[in-house]
Amino acid sequence: MEYQDAICTLNTLQTNASALEQVRRERGLPQLQLQAMRGFLERAGLAVEELDHLNIIHVTGTKGKGSTCAFTEQILRSYGFRTGFYSSPHLVQVRERIRINGQPIGKELFTKYFWQVYGRLDETKDAHGGMMPAYFRFLTILAFHVFLQEKVDLAVIEVGIGGAYDCTNIMRRPWVCGVSSLGIDHTQILGDTIEKIAWQKGGIFKPGVPAFTVKQPEDAMVMLRSRANEMRSPLRVCPDLEEYPTDCGSLVLGLAGQHQRSNASLALQLSHSWLQRRCLPEASFPSTSDENTEVLQGAAFTPSPIMVKGLGDTEWAGRNQTLRHGAVTYFLDGAHTMRSMKACVRWFRETASQHERNSSGAVARVLLFNATGERDSAAMLKLLVPCQFDFAVFCPNITEAMASCDADQQNFNVSVKNMLTRCLDNERSWHLHNSQASTKGSRLLIEGSLPKKTATDALVFPCILSALQWIAQGRDPVLTDPANRVLPVKPSINAKAAPLCEASEIHILIAGSLHLVGGALKHLDAANYK
């Protein structure tokens, strides 16, 4: 069986009727989720006890948990340990979710292990009412299987959604747990208040297992502390990154954005705690009792040179990422919550301004946006209005409008009609926000930028490739590659592009969805996703 056969079979788990029915049933009784996960794990030939050998670092949060995991994995890999890293979602290819020593597992390895796990589950489904695990649950089982077979020294595991009932929480004894910044997201599953969400996130705490969190809103911190007491897990709050004493001045991070500094501090605490247990297995951590309601502070230790290098070497595609292709510069960030979008806007305004100061003439700014699920697109778009875009472009998370679309990026849970309807709603929201802003006489952010009209032009395209091709107007050599078929566009739409052709440079912010960013990277950075 080939890699694409494995991916196409994996995609059937997105639409498997019995799997979807099980998910719907479990949402009413979430405690059944881990019970079902244990059953699938055993059918795949794995025992929960085996996961203890993976020496796991388990990380949850609303914002920054993936970046925290990336920092942590890079630090420990820099020490020479063989690392496993499970994250979600993937940007371009499914195998990005399962990494060994920082690299997505190869197609041959993915295919080999996929069929081992899928075969065992398929062989036993008739004895279990035809039940197969849903997409994410299957990939979690596959990751555990890969890490055990590949004999990693440790596994960094990012929670999917929530924590308490997330299928990654099947593990009994992680070595250390972390909670990144909390906010409001996935409210239909996790609850509609910060306290309810913090309760879910704190569900990954385990008895006697050290846990760390960044500074949180007061109500969230109270709940995390309550959960730590309940689980008898010693919980500490990370110091600010500036508090760590160093011999090299301010710590330099490989990931851009001020918000990454709290993620880096959490990664330092997680990796330091893991190393303590690895090198000092008899070291004990203070217990947490019901009477101890104070939040303990994590120590601002002196990071080792290896830790400092690890923080600086960290890469995490699609998060505050900049790509320059000739006259076209792309600013990519998968921000998809209100808090992460605020951070994205700060990063974009600072970074784009630096680029524009060095430009030889007028710069056109373009927003390429999409959002999925229950997220408040209109509220996020309102945050983007001050960036003074010349065009706002909307498209669904479809890489290209062709039958040959890559199976790695197919999503069968949302219809194309619904995706396009969402784009049209976003276009209307943008017009509304932009017209309100124009009446306030907003000042231009960058001198020498294109003269602003009273309202930004907004357009909707059927796929990511067609949107990128129109925005770049033939000025990105990557998109003019003969392998990329140029999709036809109405003359009236092409006529709107004159400012893009006249500008000295084009700056494009791609945000609102990691799936959108991934679809863009498939075209813009294809060499890294073969």
**Residues placed in the known binding site for Mg(2+):** 88, 158, 186
The Cα 224–Cα 477 span in angstroms is 50
The Cα 506–Cα 323 span in angstroms is 12
Token duo for residue 271: 């990796």
Contact 93, 408 (CB under 8 A): yes
Annotated binding site: 88, 158, 186, 319, 333
Contact 159, 60 (CB under 8 A): yes
Nearest partner of 516 among 463, 474, 476, judged by Cα? 463
Kindly give the residue spans of alpha helices, DSSP state H, lying in 163-299: 187-190, 194-201, 218-231, 260-279
Token duo for residue 42: 């055993």
3-state DSSP of 312-376: HHCCCCCCCEEEEECCEEEEEECCCCHHHHHHHHHHHHHHHHHHHHCCCCCEEEEEEECCCCCCC
C-alpha distances in Å from residue 424, one per residue of 415, 419, 428: 15, 9, 6
The Cα 130–Cα 124 span in angstroms is 8
Token duo for residue 377: 């697109």
Q: Which amino acid is at 16?
A: N
- H or E element: which one contains 60? strand 57-60
DSSP letters spanning 186-199? -HHHH-SSHHHHHH
Annotated binding site for ATP: 319, 333
Beta bridge partners of 364: 506
Beta bridge partners of 393: 368, 459
C-alpha distances in Å from residue 236, one per residue of 89, 159, 276: 28, 19, 16
235-237, strands of its sheet edge to edge: 103-104, 98-100, 83-86, 154-158, 57-60, 176-179, 211-213, 235-237, 296-297
